[in-house]
Protein backbone atom coordinates (compact mmCIF):
# COMPACT_ATOMS: atom_id res chain seq x y z
CA UNK A 1 0.00 0.00 0.00
CA UNK A 2 1.33 3.41 -0.98
CA UNK A 3 0.94 6.06 1.73
CA UNK A 4 0.25 9.76 1.44
CA UNK A 5 3.40 11.48 2.74
CA UNK A 6 2.65 14.63 4.73
CA UNK A 7 5.16 17.05 6.23
CA UNK A 8 4.25 19.33 9.12
CA UNK A 9 6.21 22.55 9.61
CA UNK A 10 5.31 24.81 12.49
CA UNK A 11 6.21 27.82 14.64
CA UNK A 12 8.60 29.54 12.24
CA UNK A 13 8.25 32.96 13.97
CA UNK A 14 9.56 34.77 10.91
CA UNK A 15 10.48 38.40 11.48
CA UNK A 16 9.68 41.31 9.17
CA UNK A 17 13.45 41.74 8.74
CA UNK A 18 14.92 38.36 7.73
CA UNK A 19 18.18 39.27 9.49
CA UNK A 20 16.49 39.90 12.84
CA UNK A 21 16.85 37.18 15.45
CA UNK A 22 14.11 35.55 17.51
CA UNK A 23 15.27 34.56 20.99
CA UNK A 24 18.85 34.75 19.83
CA UNK A 25 18.48 32.65 16.66
CA UNK A 26 18.23 33.50 12.97
CA UNK A 27 14.92 31.75 12.33
CA UNK A 28 14.98 32.56 8.62
CA UNK A 29 18.11 30.43 8.26
CA UNK A 30 16.53 27.72 10.42
CA UNK A 31 13.56 27.53 8.07
CA UNK A 32 15.84 27.46 5.02
CA UNK A 33 17.65 24.44 6.43
CA UNK A 34 14.41 22.67 7.33
CA UNK A 35 12.92 23.11 3.85
CA UNK A 36 16.17 22.00 2.19
CA UNK A 37 16.22 18.89 4.38
CA UNK A 38 12.57 18.12 3.71
CA UNK A 39 13.05 18.27 -0.05
CA UNK A 40 15.82 15.66 0.19
CA UNK A 41 13.68 13.11 2.05
CA UNK A 42 12.65 9.78 0.54
CA UNK A 43 9.81 9.16 -0.01
CA UNK A 44 9.12 12.73 -1.06
CA UNK A 45 6.36 14.68 0.66
CA UNK A 46 3.05 14.92 -1.19
CA UNK A 47 2.00 18.04 0.73
CA UNK A 48 3.11 20.32 3.55
CA UNK A 49 0.93 21.50 6.45
CA UNK A 50 2.06 24.76 8.10
CA UNK A 51 0.49 24.80 11.56
CA UNK A 52 0.74 28.35 12.82
CA UNK A 53 2.93 31.04 14.38
CA UNK A 54 4.44 31.48 10.95
CA UNK A 55 5.22 35.20 11.24
CA UNK A 56 6.05 36.64 14.64
CA UNK A 57 3.45 39.26 15.59
CA UNK A 58 1.89 38.94 12.13
CA UNK A 59 4.53 40.86 10.21
CA UNK A 60 3.42 41.43 6.58
CA UNK A 61 6.90 41.06 5.07
CA UNK A 62 7.28 37.66 6.74
CA UNK A 63 4.07 36.41 5.12
CA UNK A 64 5.04 37.77 1.73
CA UNK A 65 8.43 36.06 1.81
CA UNK A 66 6.94 32.79 3.07
CA UNK A 67 4.07 32.67 0.59
CA UNK A 68 6.42 33.42 -2.30
CA UNK A 69 8.67 30.59 -1.12
CA UNK A 70 5.73 28.18 -0.87
CA UNK A 71 4.56 28.84 -4.41
CA UNK A 72 8.03 27.86 -5.62
CA UNK A 73 8.07 24.49 -3.84
CA UNK A 74 7.38 21.32 -5.86
CA UNK A 75 4.57 20.25 -3.47
CA UNK A 76 1.37 22.03 -2.36
CA UNK A 77 1.22 23.82 0.99
CA UNK A 78 -1.68 24.66 3.29
CA UNK A 79 -1.44 27.00 6.28
CA UNK A 80 -3.36 27.90 9.43
CA UNK A 81 -2.75 30.68 11.96
CA UNK A 82 -1.32 30.53 15.44
CA UNK A 83 -1.58 33.00 18.31
CA UNK A 84 1.26 35.14 16.92
CA UNK A 85 -0.27 35.37 13.45
CA UNK A 86 -2.53 37.98 11.88
CA UNK A 87 -5.44 35.88 10.57
CA UNK A 88 -6.81 38.55 8.23
CA UNK A 89 -3.42 39.28 6.73
CA UNK A 90 -2.73 35.59 6.21
CA UNK A 91 -6.02 35.24 4.34
CA UNK A 92 -5.21 38.26 2.17
CA UNK A 93 -1.69 37.09 1.34
CA UNK A 94 -2.87 33.53 0.70
CA UNK A 95 -5.51 34.81 -1.71
CA UNK A 96 -2.85 36.59 -3.75
CA UNK A 97 -1.35 33.22 -4.64
CA UNK A 98 -4.49 31.48 -5.89
CA UNK A 99 -6.06 30.70 -2.52
CA UNK A 100 -4.64 27.19 -2.10
CA UNK A 101 -2.73 28.21 1.04
CA UNK A 102 -6.04 29.07 2.68
CA UNK A 103 -7.75 25.79 1.78
CA UNK A 104 -9.19 24.26 4.93
CA UNK A 105 -9.85 20.64 3.96
CA UNK A 106 -8.83 18.10 1.36
CA UNK A 107 -9.11 14.40 0.55
CA UNK A 108 -6.15 12.37 -0.65
CA UNK A 109 -5.31 8.68 -0.61
CA UNK A 110 -8.35 7.73 1.46
CA UNK A 111 -7.63 10.40 4.07
CA UNK A 112 -9.58 13.54 4.90
CA UNK A 113 -7.40 16.35 6.26
CA UNK A 114 -9.14 19.12 8.21
CA UNK A 115 -7.35 22.35 9.16
CA UNK A 116 -8.69 24.50 12.00
CA UNK A 117 -8.17 28.05 13.26
CA UNK A 118 -7.70 27.93 17.06
CA UNK A 119 -6.98 31.64 17.57
CA UNK A 120 -10.45 32.66 18.84
CA UNK A 121 -10.78 34.26 22.28
CA UNK A 122 -7.09 35.09 22.75
CA UNK A 123 -6.04 35.59 26.35
CA UNK A 124 -3.08 37.86 25.58
CA UNK A 125 -0.66 35.24 26.89
CA UNK A 126 -0.72 32.83 23.94
CA UNK A 127 -3.86 30.83 24.55
CA UNK A 128 -6.66 30.41 22.02
CA UNK A 129 -9.86 28.52 21.34
CA UNK A 130 -11.97 27.16 18.52
CA UNK A 131 -14.84 29.52 17.74
CA UNK A 132 -18.28 27.94 17.45
CA UNK A 133 -18.06 28.30 13.67
CA UNK A 134 -14.83 26.26 13.76
CA UNK A 135 -16.44 23.53 15.84
CA UNK A 136 -19.36 23.51 13.38
CA UNK A 137 -16.92 23.33 10.47
CA UNK A 138 -15.11 20.41 12.12
CA UNK A 139 -18.41 18.59 12.62
CA UNK A 140 -19.46 19.20 9.02
CA UNK A 141 -16.16 18.05 7.57
CA UNK A 142 -16.05 14.90 9.70
CA UNK A 143 -19.52 14.02 8.45
CA UNK A 144 -18.48 14.79 4.89
CA UNK A 145 -15.39 12.57 5.22
CA UNK A 146 -17.12 9.71 7.04
CA UNK A 147 -15.82 7.22 4.49
CA UNK A 148 -12.22 8.36 5.02
CA UNK A 149 -9.66 8.18 7.77
CA UNK A 150 -9.29 11.68 9.20
CA UNK A 151 -6.36 13.83 10.28
CA UNK A 152 -7.17 17.05 12.18
CA UNK A 153 -4.69 19.93 12.23
CA UNK A 154 -4.65 22.92 14.59
CA UNK A 155 -2.13 25.19 16.29
CA UNK A 156 -2.94 24.99 20.00
CA UNK A 157 -2.34 21.74 21.83
CA UNK A 158 -5.59 20.00 22.84
CA UNK A 159 -3.85 18.10 25.65
CA UNK A 160 -1.63 19.36 28.50
CA UNK A 161 2.12 18.81 28.24
CA UNK A 162 2.95 18.96 31.97
CA UNK A 163 4.66 22.33 31.70
CA UNK A 164 2.85 24.72 34.04
CA UNK A 165 3.22 27.79 31.83
CA UNK A 166 2.27 25.97 28.62
CA UNK A 167 -0.71 24.17 30.09
CA UNK A 168 -2.20 27.57 30.91
CA UNK A 169 -2.18 28.55 27.22
CA UNK A 170 -3.29 25.30 25.57
CA UNK A 171 -6.54 25.02 23.59
CA UNK A 172 -9.08 26.85 25.75
CA UNK A 173 -12.07 24.72 24.85
CA UNK A 174 -10.35 21.38 24.46
CA UNK A 175 -13.32 19.61 26.09
CA UNK A 176 -15.64 20.79 23.30
CA UNK A 177 -13.09 19.76 20.69
CA UNK A 178 -12.86 16.25 22.11
CA UNK A 179 -16.65 15.97 22.34
CA UNK A 180 -16.91 16.58 18.61
CA UNK A 181 -14.16 14.07 17.82
CA UNK A 182 -15.80 11.54 20.14
CA UNK A 183 -18.82 11.41 17.84
CA UNK A 184 -16.71 10.18 14.91
CA UNK A 185 -14.79 6.94 15.00
CA UNK A 186 -12.84 7.59 11.81
CA UNK A 187 -10.58 10.25 13.34
CA UNK A 188 -7.14 8.68 13.44
CA UNK A 189 -4.91 11.54 14.54
CA UNK A 190 -4.55 15.17 15.60
CA UNK A 191 -1.40 17.19 14.98
CA UNK A 192 -0.54 20.57 16.47
CA UNK A 193 2.27 23.04 16.96
CA UNK A 194 2.51 25.75 19.65
CA UNK A 195 4.51 23.78 22.23
CA UNK A 196 7.91 23.87 20.45
CA UNK A 197 8.63 20.27 21.46
CA UNK A 198 7.83 16.73 20.39
CA UNK A 199 5.09 14.50 21.82
CA UNK A 200 3.25 11.43 20.54
CA UNK A 201 0.49 9.75 22.58
CA UNK A 202 -3.02 8.32 22.47
CA UNK A 203 -6.12 10.04 23.87
CA UNK A 204 -9.64 8.62 23.57
CA UNK A 205 -8.46 6.33 20.80
CA UNK A 206 -6.95 9.19 18.79
CA UNK A 207 -3.23 9.66 18.25
CA UNK A 208 -2.08 13.17 19.23
CA UNK A 209 1.24 14.36 17.83
CA UNK A 210 2.96 17.61 18.72
CA UNK A 211 5.84 18.86 16.63
CA UNK A 212 9.01 20.87 17.30
CA UNK A 213 9.41 24.34 15.87
CA UNK A 214 11.64 25.44 13.05
CA UNK A 215 12.55 28.48 15.19
CA UNK A 216 13.54 27.51 18.76
CA UNK A 217 12.58 24.67 21.11
CA UNK A 218 11.15 24.87 24.64
CA UNK A 219 12.34 22.48 27.32
CA UNK A 220 9.62 20.05 28.39
CA UNK A 221 8.03 19.79 31.86
CA UNK A 222 9.01 23.21 33.20
CA UNK A 223 7.23 25.71 35.42
CA UNK A 224 8.32 28.59 33.19
CA UNK A 225 9.66 29.09 29.68
CA UNK A 226 13.17 27.67 29.33
CA UNK A 227 14.84 27.21 25.96
CA UNK A 228 15.96 23.69 25.18
CA UNK A 229 19.71 23.18 25.68
CA UNK A 230 20.06 19.52 24.73
CA UNK A 231 22.38 19.45 21.69
CA UNK A 232 19.94 17.35 19.65
CA UNK A 233 16.56 18.51 20.94
CA UNK A 234 17.37 22.20 20.47
CA UNK A 235 17.83 21.81 16.72
CA UNK A 236 15.14 23.01 14.28
CA UNK A 237 12.64 20.27 13.57
CA UNK A 238 9.61 19.15 11.57
CA UNK A 239 7.46 16.04 11.31
CA UNK A 240 6.92 13.55 8.49
CA UNK A 241 3.82 11.36 8.43
CA UNK A 242 3.04 8.44 6.16
CA UNK A 243 -0.74 7.99 6.01
CA UNK A 244 -1.68 4.52 4.77
CA UNK A 245 -5.00 3.62 3.11
CA UNK A 246 -5.82 1.21 5.97
CA UNK A 247 -5.59 4.04 8.56
CA UNK A 248 -2.11 3.19 9.77
CA UNK A 249 0.30 6.05 10.46
CA UNK A 250 4.07 5.97 10.47
CA UNK A 251 5.76 9.15 11.65
CA UNK A 252 9.10 10.57 12.62
CA UNK A 253 10.45 13.90 13.78
CA UNK A 254 13.37 15.18 11.73
CA UNK A 255 16.03 17.35 13.38
CA UNK A 256 18.19 19.57 11.19
CA UNK A 257 21.75 20.24 12.30
CA UNK A 258 23.13 23.74 12.29
Q: Write the pLDDT tens digit of every residue in 93-143.
A: 999 877 799 999 999 999 999 999 999 999 999 999 999 999 999 999 999
Residue 13 has pLDDT above 90, yes or no: yes
- pLDDT recorded at residue 96: 86
Residue 258 has pLDDT above 70, yes or no: no
Residue 228 has pLDDT above 70, yes or no: yes
**pLDDT digits over 18-53, tens only?**
888 899 899 999 999 999 999 999 999 999 999 999
- pLDDT recorded at residue 1: 82
The CATH superfamily of 4-255 is Metallo-dependent phosphatases (3.60.21.10)
Break the chain into its structural domains and give their ranges: 4-255
Separation between Cα atoms, residue 246 and residue 41, nearest integer Å: 23
- pLDDT recorded at residue 233: 97
**pLDDT digits over 149-165, tens only?**
999 999 999 999 999 99
pLDDT tier, 57 (very low <50, low <70, confident <90, very high otherwise): confident
Please write down the long-range contacts of 162-167, taking CB distance under 8 Å and 24 or more positions apart: 162/220, 162/221, 163/195, 163/218, 163/220, 163/221, 163/222, 163/223, 164/222, 164/223, 164/224, 165/222, 165/223, 165/224, 165/225, 166/195, 166/218
- pLDDT recorded at residue 11: 98
**pLDDT digits over 180-222, tens only?**
999 999 999 999 999 999 999 999 999 999 999 999 999 999 9
- pLDDT recorded at residue 241: 98
Amino acid sequence: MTPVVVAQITDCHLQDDPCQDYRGFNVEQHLDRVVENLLLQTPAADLILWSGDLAHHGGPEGYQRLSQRLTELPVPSYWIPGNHDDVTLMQQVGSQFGGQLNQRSLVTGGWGIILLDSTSEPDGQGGGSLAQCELDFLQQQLQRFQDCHCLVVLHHNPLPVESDWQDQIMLGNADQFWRVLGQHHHVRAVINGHVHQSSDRMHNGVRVMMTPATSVQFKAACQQLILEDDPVLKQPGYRCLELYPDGRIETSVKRVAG
